[in-house]
Amino acid sequence: MSAAALVGIGAFAGSAKTATPDASAVTLAALSSKVSPLKITKVTATSTGTSVRTTLKITNSSSVRKPALHAWLYLAAGTEKYTLGQVTVKSLAGGANTTVRAIHRAPARAAKGKYAVLACTGVYSTQNCRASAASVRTSPATRARPDTGVMLDVARAYYPVALIKKYIDLLAANGGRFLHLHLTDDQNVGIESRVLGQTLANADLDDGVYTSRVTGRPFLSAAQAREISDYSAKRGIALVPEIDTPGHMAAAFALLEARHGTKWVDRIRADESELDTSVPGSLALATELYTEVTRTFPSSRTVHIGGDEWGGGVTADQRVRWLNAMAAAVGNRQVWAWNDGIDRTAVKRLDPRVRVTYWSFDGDTEDEAERLQRRKHRASANDLSAAGIDLLNYNSYYLYEVPSDLDEADSAYTVADLRTNWSLRTWDGDSGSLLPAPMSGAAVAIWGEDLENPPSDALLRWSTPHVVAMIDTARS
């Protein structure tokens, strides 16, 4: 589904100097309640062992042709939902119908038992989903090798292309499976973006490094990003680009102010670093950014939509609506999100295909009252796992690196502590809390805000033992 189809054509109409967020663009609330014109009228399903065969009958309920889209299929039993996969629904003329058939393997996380098959189009909601009348009985597939990887904060620290390739080599040599690139944060947008006005024409070039004339920070060009994307594909490592919304947008706002002016940006921001998710322009902007990043990293089948460290005043319902809308915006790609935007009361309304990178229950706050309040409302890893949500272990105690001077003693302690006390079931810092079953993967996250020197081979050498220890322990 295109950005224009999702939020309304013309959401950013006008010239670069005069454009304003279009008030006619669809609001988040309206989008979440909108019924998809391609309506699933019937779902039938059968199963044999781990295989689930599904047949969908789909009708275009409108009078005009609608473009091709993707329907997502889930196993559903009560509040539990497990993603089966997607099917492509071809473009349909007004009033036309079609039949789509698919075979998927039951996910290993789904226990043996009876499930309905749920089929959904558009933004995830009860209006856009239909369940099979009869249940299927499945046996789970053998648990797959854990998805393990590295996250690099390429927003706040500039990683040369050659160094990123070396991290890809590190993962390939040790059985890792993905590289997660955190591209945006308050301090910088680490990637070329025509949507934000961060282009090569507005940058200075020195020794192969582009530096924004607005933020004064270096960034990767789209050509460099494609070089990284191609290299990761050749090495068999999945690349996961992250555009963090709606928070951590201060650098993006600075770029947009330079392009459109302060009044334009004031219409879409809630504060100095967060989009106002209640206004149409915010949804339009975020959708354009996700559309752009999928073009920049064409081989990537997954997009991380951020969703961490929300500001106050945003309800649990507004957060889950935003996450579901962003999941729809990335179309047929898999979607990841941080855990701390998901409240316990909203878990059942979260699009089940969102894979949650679980880093902290309480955001590691030192304020005791805030800590207790967050734990009262936020979804725990147990809550998400019980609902069938797929989790990746980003435990901030064992798996986060916020390096400064690359102290070898710190690295050695971290590795020993991880090998002794961490597993894929360890979810709440170093509290000892364990999930009944392991998460499906993990990553070492290397954050850049405290680095005393730009990333180099020294950082690679310093972080390698931690990465290797995580991959080894996850497999054990």
Q: How far apart are CA 341 and CA 244, in angstroms?
A: 12
Please check whether residues 192 and 94 belong to one and the same domain. Answer: no
With a CB cutoff of 8 Å and minimum separation 6, the contacts of 131 are 43, 76, 116, 117, 118, 119
Please check whether residues 303 and 390 belong to one and the same domain. Answer: yes
Over 50: is that where the pLDDT of 254 sits?
yes
Helix, coil or strand: residue 36: coil
Q: Which of 104, 138, 172 is the last residue in one of the domains?
A: 138
Q: How far apart are CA 35 and CA 15, in angstroms?
A: 32
Which pLDDT score, from 0 to 100, does residue 313 have?
Answer: 87
CATH number at 95 reads: 2.60.40.10
Q: How far apart are CA 338 and CA 379, in angstroms?
A: 12
Which pLDDT score, from 0 to 100, does residue 24 have?
Answer: 44
In a domain, 13, yes or no: no
The pLDDT tens digits of the residues spanning 130-148 come to: 999 999 998 877 778 999 9
* Selected residue with higher pLDDT from 66 and 203: 203
Please check whether residues 109 and 184 belong to one and the same domain. Answer: no
Which pLDDT score, from 0 to 100, does residue 28 have?
Answer: 62
Which pLDDT score, from 0 to 100, does residue 14 have?
Answer: 39
Is residue 64 within 8 A of residue 57, CB to CB? The reply is no
Which pLDDT score, from 0 to 100, does residue 30 have?
Answer: 60
Q: How far apart are CA 475 and CA 368, in angstroms?
A: 36
* R_g of the chain computed on alpha carbons: 22
Is residue 435 within 8 A of residue 425, CB to CB? The reply is yes
Please check whether residues 198 and 343 belong to one and the same domain. Answer: yes
Per-residue pLDDT band at 27 (split at 50, 70, 90): low
Percent of the chain at pLDDT exceeding 90: 83
Measured CA distances, 156 to 37, 239, 247, 405 (Å)? 42, 19, 15, 16
In a domain, 328, yes or no: yes
In a domain, 17, yes or no: no
With a CB cutoff of 8 Å and minimum separation 6, the contacts of 280 are 7, 8, 11, 21, 22, 23, 24, 25, 26, 27
**Number of domains making up the chain:** 2
The sign of the CA dihedral 155, 159, 164, 165 is positive
Over 60: is that where the pLDDT of 286 sits?
yes
In a domain, 360, yes or no: yes
Per-residue pLDDT band at 331 (split at 50, 70, 90): confident
Q: How far apart are CA 149 and CA 168, in angstroms?
A: 9
Over 50: is that where the pLDDT of 101 sits?
yes
Which pLDDT score, from 0 to 100, does residue 81 have?
Answer: 96
Please check whether residues 290 and 329 belong to one and the same domain. Answer: yes
Over 90: is that where the pLDDT of 431 sits?
yes
Is residue 337 within 8 A of residue 307, CB to CB? The reply is yes
- DSSP characters over 110-142: SPSEEEEEEEE-SSSSGGGEEE-SS-EEE-PPP
Please check whether residues 91 and 235 belong to one and the same domain. Answer: no
- DSSP characters over 251-288: HHHHHHHHHH-HHHHHTTEEETTEE-TTSHHHHHHHHH
The sign of the CA dihedral 314, 319, 325, 329 is positive
In a domain, 15, yes or no: no
Q: Which of 138, 171, 202 is the last residue in one of the domains?
A: 138
Please check whether residues 243 and 223 belong to one and the same domain. Answer: yes
Please check whether residues 266 and 128 belong to one and the same domain. Answer: no
Q: How far apart are CA 118 and CA 214, in angstroms?
A: 47
CATH number at 373 reads: 3.20.20.80
Please check whether residues 128 and 180 belong to one and the same domain. Answer: no
Please check whether residues 288 and 430 belong to one and the same domain. Answer: yes
Q: Which of 138, 166, 182 is the last residue in one of the domains?
A: 138
In a domain, 16, yes or no: no
In a domain, 397, yes or no: yes
The pLDDT tens digits of the residues spanning 148-200 come to: 999 999 999 999 999 999 999 999 999 999 999 999 999 999 999 999 999 99
In a domain, 26, yes or no: no
Please check whether residues 112 and 236 belong to one and the same domain. Answer: no
**Mean per-residue pLDDT over the chain, rounded:** 92
Q: Which helix (H) or strand (E) holds 421?
A: helix 408-421
Please check whether residues 79 and 225 belong to one and the same domain. Answer: no
The pLDDT tens digits of the residues spanning 3-24 come to: 433 433 234 433 344 455 554 4
Range of the domain at 172: 147-475
